[in-house]
Amino acid sequence: MKILVVGSGGQLGRELKKLHTSDDANSWMFAARDQIDLQKADDLRRLNEWKPDVVVNCAAYTQVDKAEEEVYACWEINALGVGRLAKKCNEIGSWLIHVSSDYVYHHNPGRPIKEEDPLFPRGIYAASKAGGETLVREFNPKHIVIRTSWLYGNEGPNFVKTMIKLGETKSELRVVADQWGSPTYTYDLAKAIRKIIRTLADSPNAEFAGTYHYANEGVINWHGFAREIMQEMGYDTHVLPITSAEYAAAAPRPGWSALSLSKIKRVFDIFPPHWRISLKSYLQELKKTI
Ligand SMILES: NC(=O)c1ccc[n+]([C@@H]2O[C@H](COP(=O)([O-])OP(=O)(O)OC[C@H]3O[C@@H](n4cnc5c(N)ncnc54)[C@H](OP(=O)(O)O)[C@@H]3O)[C@@H](O)[C@H]2O)c1
């Protein structure tokens, strides 16, 4: 199988790049924004030459708060650009594995959210991610949409790295305690994507097409997550709980992002590790570099 990763310069894209060295069965290509820019329709012509069997889209406009101002850019990349990519994949007969977000939900059914639950995207970023998903389904029947949450990885900035930096210097921090979800290590998600690709290679028809959740197992709020990071790092920084209203971010965040993982377990035999276990191994890796 020939696999093309679009958006290979981001957290998840770079994780997939690292992981592909241990995959001899497939040939991988990586395109960062300078090679495939989702805002430039002409760039997609490259797919005619490369003819990948599977495209993994990790590219996205991810500045959630800035999106409230940069509405057009966010919509152009996350919805229209993704739609164009899906159309091109359909044209060349390739699968599209597209990464989406827990932000499409914004409601609490009182249990882990299932893939078929209704979407209530709030804010420009959330709406653009929901729009992108819709266009993927519309334009390419050979699609896998993966909704994930609270990503952190070895590359690029993320919540864990921010907490470590603050923990080094601050004696007290205030962190939101009314948003619940599952922190997800990009290494685990990258491995899940690799497993999905292997399954698709064994089954060329579209029986696996659909929408799936992938997150690390277990649910916590940001305050609890921050406390765990401080504890693991051996910092005695006090982490105080605040509300989303007190934090007052520009874009709304979902209060409940607990994603049901039953479908991905059942269909792809993928069993995500618990977030605590993944955080520990992430920090062990990170400590080697600081
Ligand atoms: N981070 C999270 O907490 C989180 C949670 C749930 C879902 N997700 C989703 O997971 C996916 C991966 O997220 P991530 O954390 O790896 O994001 P990331 O680190 O922000 O990476 C996104 C990548 O997309 C690239 N990009 C932006 N605009 C582009 C365009 N017009 N054309 C091509 N590439 C473009 C960026 O390049 P530049 O740096 O050059 O702009 C960057 O390399 C995204 O779909 C995101 O929506 C993320």
Sign of the CA dihedral with 68 first, then 88, 97, and 114 last: positive
In a domain, 282, yes or no: no
Give the binding-site residues of ligand 1, using a 6 Å CB cut-off: 7, 9-13, 33, 36-39, 58-62, 77, 81, 99, 101-102, 129, 148-151, 156
226 in any annotated domain:
no
Which of 38, 55, 57, 58 most suits a substitution to test ligand 1, by most atoms within 8 Å of the C-beta?
58
Instruction: Give nearest CA residue, ligand 1 atom 32.
Output: 37
The pLDDT of residue 23 is 75
Q: Identify the CA nearest to 3 among candidates 118, 122, 96.
A: 96
Q: Which tokens is 236 given?
A: 């005695």
Q: For residue 136, which of 231, 65, 212 has the smallest C-alpha distance?
A: 212
Distance 71 CA to ligand 1 centre (A): 16
Ligand 1 atom with the smallest distance to the CA of 159 is 3
pTM for this prediction:
0.97
Structure-token pair, residue 278: 């993944």
Ligand 1 centroid to Cα of residue 109, in Å, is 28
Q: Ligand 1, closest atom to CA 186? A: 16
Domain extent at residue 137 = 2-158+183-217+258-273
Q: Which residue's CA is the closest to the ligand 1 atom numbered 2?
A: 151
pLDDT tens digits, one per residue of 102-160: 999 999 999 999 999 999 999 999 999 999 999 999 999 999 999 999 999 988 899 99
Residue 234 lies in a domain: no
Q: Is residue 129 part of a domain?
A: yes
Residues of the chain with pLDDT under 70: 204
Q: Residue 19: which CATH number? A: 3.40.50.720
> Is residue 108 one of the residues assigned to a domain?
yes
In this structure, the residue with its CA closest to atom 8 of ligand 1 is: 101
Q: Two tokens at 161?
A: 């790295």
CA of 132 to the centre of ligand 1 (A): 13
Site to probe by mutation for ligand 1, drawn from 5, 12, 144 as the one with most ligand atoms within 8 Å of Cβ, is 12
Residue 274 gets which letter from DSSP? Answer: B
**Inside any domain, residue 288:** no
The residue count for the chain: 290
Rounded to the nearest angstrom, the distance between the alpha carbon of 234 and the centre of ligand 1 is 31
Count of domains for the chain? 1
Q: Is residue 150 part of a domain?
A: yes
Report the separation in Å between the CA atom of 281 and the middle of ligand 1, taken as the mean of its atom positions: 23
Catalytic site positions: 125
Residue 279 maps to a domain: no
Token code pair at residue 10: 């981001």
Which residue type occupies 81? G
Which amino acid type is present at position 191? K
